[in-house]
Structure 1
């Protein structure tokens, strides 16, 4: 759970920083005005690309955690299945 919270928080912070930078640049270039929808779209694109490179370690930790939990769940399922098969014989 910790890995999910860390990765998600960092993605949100990266988006907010990108949004602030995009709005700041647009405001400077267009005399204090900016298009909110365009700023959001650009911030999503920039933060998505940046997170691909900057958050690789956090993404890998999250993926390992998910893989571990899935393996435990699969093992528990197989154990219950084998127990039921043994009881029915």
Structure 2
């Protein structure tokens, strides 16, 4: 659960940082900002940035999910084997 919270918090922070950057640059150049376009551009920037910047936390999260899936599969197989014995 910790890995999920860390990764999600980092994604949100990356998006907000991208939004602030896009908003600030657009405001400095044009004097007014169409909010929808700023959000769309920030969303794309943060998505692309997360591919490189958040690789470590994403891998930790994926490993945690895989471990939980393996444990669940083992429990399922154990229960299935117990039914076969009964």
Say whether the fold is shared (TM-score over 0.5): yes
Displacement of 1:23 in angstroms is 0.3
User: In the alignment, which residue of structure 2 is the partner of 1:49?
Assistant: 48
Instruction: String of CA shifts for 1:13-53, please: whole Å, max 9, x gaps.
Output: 0000000000001101112x100000000000000111100
- Which segments of 5 or more consecutive residues in structure 1 lack a partner in the other structure? none
- Which segments of 5 or more consecutive residues in structure 2 lack a partner in the other structure? none
Q: How many residues align?
A: 86
- CA RMSD, Structure 1 to Structure 2 (Å): 0.4
Structure 1 segments (4+ residues) deviating >3 Å: none
The structure that has the greater radius of gyration is 1
Q: What TM-score comes out, normalization by structure 1 length?
A: 0.95
User: In the alignment, which residue of structure 1 is the partner of 2:26?
Assistant: 26
Displacement of 1:8 in angstroms is 0.2
User: In the alignment, which residue of structure 2 is the partner of 1:63?
Assistant: 62
